Amino acid sequence: MPSFNFFKRKGKDVSKLNQKQNDIQADKPVPSSQNLGDRLTIEEAKNLLNRIENGLTRSLLMGLEKTFQETNLIFQHINATAEDLENEEIEVEEEKLAPLVKNTKNTIVRALKRESSNILTIPKTFDEFVKFKESLDASINRFGEVTSSHSRIVNTFMKKHANSLRGDLKKISDISEKLSDEFEELSMEKKIVEECRSNFSVLEANMDEREKSAKALEKIDNECTKMEEEIKRKENEINNLKGSSDYSKALKYLQEKEQIDKEKKFLIEKLNRISSHLSKAANKYSYGLTKTTIEKIDTIVNKPSEIACKPDISDYLNLVREMKESVMSNKIILKDSNKTIQYFDMLTSELPSFKSEILKLDLKIDKLKDKDKVTILDKLGQNQEEKKQEVEHCMAENQRKEEILKNNLKIKEQIKTTLSNIEEQLHRLSTKKYKIIVNIDE
C-alpha cells in the first residue's frame, strides 16, 4: 500500500491476527455433554456445512456494515474537501510558482474528486465484499500516487486541506487493513469449508464404490451358486455314465485299442529304423531328379509308414530297388555300401508286410468299434470338459471376490479417516461435535 506522504500504513501484524483467531475460538461456547451426541446423515451434514458457510459470510458482513457505511462517508468527506480546495484561491508569494501551484491543485482536485465520487455498494455476498475491498485498495493506491508526487506543494500551500486529507486517508487505510484482516480470517474458514466439502465428495465416492462392490459380490455369489449346482449336475452325469454297462464296454474297447496302437507304434518304429540308414544313399541318388520323384524318396527315407496308406506301393518299391542298384553299380559311392544294400533289401521286404500288418490292425479296431462305445466316451469327455470349465470359472470368480473384499477393507479405512476429518472440520467451524451416521460394517 503506498504512502500518502502524510502517514505510513502499518504492516500487517500476523501474530495479532493469530491472537484474534484464538480469541474468537475462546469466545465460542464450550459444547455441553448433550451436544456430543448430535448425529447426522451425510445429506444433513452437507446441509449443515452450507448453513455454516452462509453464516460465516453473513456474520462478517453484518459485523462490517458500519465500516462499509463509514467508508462511503469518508469518501464523501474527501469529495467535499476536494471541492473546497477547488474553490479556494491559493496565495503564492513568488509569482513564478503560481502556475505550478495552480496546475498541481487542479491535478489533485481532479484525482480526489474522481476517486471519492465512486460510492461503493454495501456488500451482500462474499464476492461483493471482495469487490468492495479491491475497489477500496485501488482508490487508496491512486490517492497515494497523486499525494506523494505533489507532497511538497501540498504541505507548503495547502496545509489546511492537507491535514483534513491526512485524517481521511489515514481512516480509509485503517479500514482497508481491517477488511484485509477480516478477509484473511474468513478465507481461512472458507478454506476449511472447501476442504470439508472435498472430503464429502471423497466420502460419497467411497460409499458409491462400496455399493457397487456389494452388488458385484451379490452377483458373484449368485453366479457361483449356479456354477456349483451345474458342477454337481455334471458330476452326477459323469458318475451315471461311468456306472453304465456301455462304459464298461467302452473301457474294454479302449484297452484293446491301446494294445493295437502299441503294436502299430512298434511296427512304425521298426520301419523308421530301417529307412533311416538309407538317407545318405537317397540324398546322392536325388540329384537331378524331378520334384515328384524327390518327394517319393523323402517319404521312403523319412516317413515310410505313410506308404502303407497308398493304394499302390509299387512305385516306392521300384525306387528302393533303383537306389540299391545305383549303390551296387558304384554310381553312388558309400563307405558302408554293403551294409546299406542290406537295409535296402530289408525295406523292400518290410514295406509290403508292414502295409499288410497295418491294415490288419486297423481292421481289428474297426471290428472293436461300435457307435455306442464311441458315443458314451465322447459324452463322458464332453461332460468332464464342461465340469472343468465350470470349476475354473468358479475359482476365477472366487478369486475376484477375494480381491473385492480386500479392496473393501481399504475403502472402509478410507471412509473412517474421511469421516473423522469431516467431523473434525465441522467441529472447528461450529465448535459443536457431530457424529455422521454411515453404515460401514456390512
Question: Percentage of residues in the chain with pLDDT exceeding 90?
Answer: 43
Report yes or no on 410 lying in a domain.
no
Q: What is the pLDDT of residue 399?
A: 95
| Domain presence at residue 229 | no
pLDDT at 8 exceeding the cut of 50 = no
pLDDT value at residue 193: 94
pLDDT surpasses 80 at 370: no
Q: What is the pLDDT of residues 90-121, one digit of tens each?
A: 665 566 666 776 777 777 778 788 877 878 88
What total of structural domains would you count in the chain?
1
Whether residue 78 is predicted with pLDDT greater than 60 in this model: the reply is yes
Would the pLDDT of 22 be above 50? no
Which domain covers residue 108, as residue numbers? 14-211
Could you read off the pLDDT of 259-276 as tens digits, one per residue? 989 999 999 999 999 999
Give the rounded percent of residues in the chain with a pLDDT score beyond 70.
Answer: 84
Q: Worst-scoring range by mean pLDDT, 50-64, 175-189, 364-378?
A: 364-378
168 compared with 163, residue with greater pLDDT: 168
For the question of whether the overall pTM of this predicted structure is more than 0.85, the answer is no
* 361 within some domain: no
pLDDT grade for 231, boundaries at 50, 70 and 90: very high
The mean pLDDT of 209-217, rounded to a whole number, is 93
d(CA 177, CA 129): 14
Query: Is residue 20 domain-resident?
Result: yes
Beta bridge partners of residue 436, listed in sequence order:
40
pLDDT for residue 23? 42
In a domain, 75, yes or no: yes
Q: Is position 173 within any domain?
A: yes
Is 277 contained in some domain? Answer: no
Find the mean pLDDT for residues 378-389. Answer: 91
Does the residue 61 lie in any domain? yes
pLDDT for position 90: 65
What whole-number distance in Å separates Cα of residue 108 and Cα of residue 148?
A: 11
